[in-house]
Every structure is written in C-alpha cells, then in structure tokens.
C-alpha cells in the first residue's frame, strides 16, 4: 500500500463509546443482579437467550446514545490517528438515534470533518483501507483492505483475522501498514521476542520446541483455556479454566491476550520480561498475528515476527486430522485466507516444511 495517508474507518459503539458495559450497568442498577452482569456474559452479538438480551432495548433509545460515556483514551486515540490517516466514523444506529450520534461525534471529535461521519446499517458498502470494528459480522463482510477486529468477549468465536486489544496496538498497526514502523531491522542478539505466526497446521509448536532446544532460546508456557492435547508435553502450556484466565487478565497479568477457536490464550508479562531482559535470551512464542503485533509494539526492534508458510493442502490435512470438534475444524479452515494474508505484516517468511527451518530462524535472531 503506497498511500501516505490511509483511509481508516472506526466503528463507534464499544470502540469509542461505552455501549454494552454501560447498558449492563443500567440493568444491574434496575434489577440488582447478584452477581452483577458483566461483558463476559455476552457470548455473541444480538440475542444470547439470557438476561443480557434486555440491554439491546437501550440501543434504540436516543437518550442512551446521547449519554454514552466516552471510553478512556478514546479522544487521544482519535486525535493521534487523525495525524496519521483520514479518519471516518462508520456507525450503525436506528434513524431515531442518528441525530444524537452525530451531535456527540462532532462535539467530542471536532477535528474530524463532519462529512466523515457515515451513519448506516450497511457497513459492507463502505470501501476503506482499514476498518476497526468489534462486530464479527462487520469484519467478515467489509470490503476494507485491512479489516481489524477489536477483541471483546462477544467476538471470541472469530479466529484467524487481524485483531488488536488496544488503541496503542491499532496505532502501531496503522504505522506498519503505512510502512512507517521502525526503520531498524529486528535485533535479538541480546534477547527478544520471537513470534512464530501462521495458520493451524503450520508447525509452529514443533518448530518452537526445536528452537527451545538451542542455547539462548526459551519457550515460555503460554496460558490457555483449551484442553490439553495428547501430543503436548508438560510445560508447553499453562492450562486454566475460563474463570481463572479472566481473573488473571483483569489483574493485568498478561502482555497480550487473544482468542483462537473459541479458547483464550495469554502471554504473561513477568515470564517474558524475565526471559528477555533478565536472561537476555530469545523467548520463542507460537502466537497469532494479534498477539504478535502487541509484542512488536512493546519490544520494537527486539521483536521478530516470522511467518511459517506451508502449502494449503498440508495445512488443511493437518486441521482435519486433529482431535477437535467439527465446528472448530470448519472455523479454522474458513479462516485460512485471512491467516495467509498475515504474512504481509511479518518481518520474515520461512517455509515450515524446510528441514532447516529452525536453523534459518535462529540465524535471523543472530544466534
């Protein structure tokens, strides 16, 4: 992409304004739920067949739209993004709420032109370079060149897409897409984060184990809520219940969290900092592009993103051969196109079936 200024679309609800959590706060006050409803009770967009469904009534109320709290850091985020790109607000509200939405946006973000406020239900008609949205259905159907999912509890079923966890991660991604990220090449000679990116079946874990057997490389135990597989060794992962994972995440234990195949994954800040800054070693992390970008944003030139490429037929065969529910296999196969495109955002591509793949990656780390 050669443009100096990209066109970037921002969804509004739960990207800039508190929507779902604010509506649940109102429900908790109204009914005094014990325990109180939280965003983690919203398992998917729309009807959930639970008490959280009543929150949807607020979304058609102009008074609710007019009073939604601005999320922390949203104003600073949009101001900084406006310096780098042409920002458009792409938002869907009922006709009765359109005036309230437009008035809030013009008041809170006066530096974004009024004609950049696009209100309508058909986001699939808006062509942009990038779109940041928390709605899985919008990400799946947008014509945007780079659709980016803002991770929330209700979109955990969507795997393999480009996604971020924070405003800072998205700003970093915009810089990468503009080819304006750090000019220096990654340098992991004194320790760093080696992120192995690729679709399911690209041998990430196998190559990570090979690298971890080399001097100067350490594989931290990623936390996950998925079940242990038969071929996994003790220490490959730290297995948690969803409740345990959420508790640690809310306490700030993880540098990055992501969701794949409906399961949560997280990299502990303390573990990585000890390996990278304490031991001066390379932390080898099989990870999705969302987590990799978070680590790149933190460690900058001390992070190397390696895309493990493998022929699609071999990847599909690996997926269908795995012991996992049919719906999870289907989801992973359907996400392959997006997974392969993540190669564009990595520093280096290595053929996963090359018998010297681990050695090539080690050499790229200066080891």
Residue 211 has pLDDT above 90, yes or no: yes
Q: Which of 117, 147, 181 is the last residue of a domain?
A: 181
| Tens-digit pLDDT profile for residues 170-187 | 998 898 777 644 446 899
Domain membership of residue 49 (yes or no) is yes
Half-sphere exposure of 25 (CA within 13 A, CB side): 8
Q: What pLDDT is stored for residue 293 in this prediction?
A: 83
Domain membership of residue 283 (yes or no) is yes
User: 237 and 201, same structural domain?
Assistant: yes
Domain membership of residue 277 (yes or no) is yes
User: 340 and 241, same structural domain?
Assistant: yes
Domain membership of residue 338 (yes or no) is yes
Domain membership of residue 186 (yes or no) is no
Q: Which of 156, 181, 206 is the last residue of a domain?
A: 181
* Cβ proximity of 329 and 319 under 8 Å: yes
- Over residues 337-364, the mean pLDDT reads 92
Residue 172 to residues 1, 25, 120, 130, 340, Cα–Cα distance (Å): 16, 32, 28, 13, 20
User: 236 and 156, same structural domain?
Assistant: no
What are the structure tokens assigned to 320, written together? 């269908």
Give the DSSP H/E element, type plus range, for residue 254.
Answer: strand 254-260
The partner residues of 218 in beta bridges, in order of sequence, read 283
User: 210 and 146, same structural domain?
Assistant: no
Question: Per the structure, how many domains does the chain have?
Answer: 2
- Full residue range of the structural domain in which residue 10 is found: 1-181
User: 165 and 121, same structural domain?
Assistant: yes
User: 177 and 68, same structural domain?
Assistant: yes
Find the CATH number of the domain harbouring 253.
3.40.50.300
User: 209 and 162, same structural domain?
Assistant: no
Predicted TM-score (pTM) of the model is 0.69
Q: Which residues contact 334 (CB under 8 A, 6 or more apart)?
A: none
Residue 10 has pLDDT above 70, yes or no: yes
Q: Which of 137, 160, 181 is the last residue of a domain?
A: 181
Regarding predicted confidence, which is higher, 184 or 60? 60
Range name among 53-62, 172-181, 217-226, 281-290 with the lowest pLDDT average = 172-181
Domain membership of residue 187 (yes or no) is no
Nearest to 37 by CA among 47, 48, 51, 49: 51
What are the structure tokens assigned to 272, written together? 């990585």
Percentage of residues of the chain with pLDDT beyond 70:
97
Q: Is 329 strand, coil or helix?
A: helix
- Over residues 124-149, the mean pLDDT reads 90
Nearest to 8 by CA among 183, 187, 179, 128: 128
Give the DSSP H/E element, type plus range, for residue 268.
Answer: strand 263-268
Cα separation, 193 vs 173, whole angstroms = 17
User: 163 and 232, same structural domain?
Assistant: no
User: 199 and 147, same structural domain?
Assistant: no
- List the 192-197 sheet strands across, edge first: 217-218, 282-286, 192-197, 303-309, 348-351
Domain membership of residue 2 (yes or no) is yes
Residue 254 has pLDDT above 70, yes or no: yes
Find the CATH number of the domain harbouring 131.
3.40.50.1000
Half-sphere exposure of 211 (CA within 13 A, CB side): 32
Return the exposure string of 318-348: e unless at least 16 CB atoms fall within 10 Å of the residue's CB, then b: bbeeeebeeebbebbbebbebbbebbebbbb
User: 340 and 224, same structural domain?
Assistant: yes
């Amino acid at each position: 992409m050669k443009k100096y200024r990209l066109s970037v679309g921002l969804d509004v609800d739960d990207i800039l304004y508190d929507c779902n959590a604010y509506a649940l706060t109102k429900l908790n006050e109204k009914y005094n739920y014990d325990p109180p409803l939280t965003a983690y009770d919203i398992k998917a967009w729309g009807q959930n067949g639970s008490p959280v469904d009543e929150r949807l009534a607020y979304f058609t109320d102009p008074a609710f739209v007019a009073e939604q709290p601005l999320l922390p850091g949203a104003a600073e985020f949009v101001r900084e993004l406006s310096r780098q790109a042409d920002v458009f607000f792409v938002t869907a509200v009922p006709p009765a709420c359109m005036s309230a939405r437009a008035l809030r946006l013009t008041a809170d973000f006066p530096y974004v032109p009024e004609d950049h406020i696009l209100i309508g239900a058909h986001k699939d008609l808006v062509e942009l370079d990038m779109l940041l949205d928390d709605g899985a259905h919008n990400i799946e159907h947008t014509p945007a060149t780079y659709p980016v999912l803002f991770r929330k509890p209700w979109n955990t079923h969507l795997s393999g897409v480009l996604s971020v966890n924070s405003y800072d991660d998205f700003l970093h991604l915009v810089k990468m897409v503009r080819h304006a990220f750090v000019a220096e090449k990654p340098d992991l000679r004194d320790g760093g984060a080696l992120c192995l990116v690729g679709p399911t079946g690209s041998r990430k874990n196998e190559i990570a184990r090979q690298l971890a057997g080399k001097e100067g490389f350490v594989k931290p135990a990623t936390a996950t809520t998925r079940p242990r597989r038969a071929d996994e060794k003790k220490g490959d992962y730290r297995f948690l219940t969803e409740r345990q994972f959420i508790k640690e995440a809310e306490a700030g234990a993880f540098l990055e969290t992501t969701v794949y195949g409906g399961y949560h994954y997280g990299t502990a800040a303390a573990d990585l900092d000890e390996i990278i800054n304490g031991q001066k070693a390379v932390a080898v992390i099989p990870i999705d592009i969302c987590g990799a970008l978070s680590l790149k944003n933190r460690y900058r030139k001390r992070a190397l993103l390696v895309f493990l490429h493998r022929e699609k037929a071999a990847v599909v065969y690996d997926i269908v051969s795995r012991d996992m529910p049919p719906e999870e296999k289907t989801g992973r196969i359907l996400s392959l196109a997006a997974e392969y495109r993540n190669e564009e955002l990595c520093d280096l591509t290595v053929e996963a079936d090359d018998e010297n793949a681990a050695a090539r990656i080690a050499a790229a780390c200066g080891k």
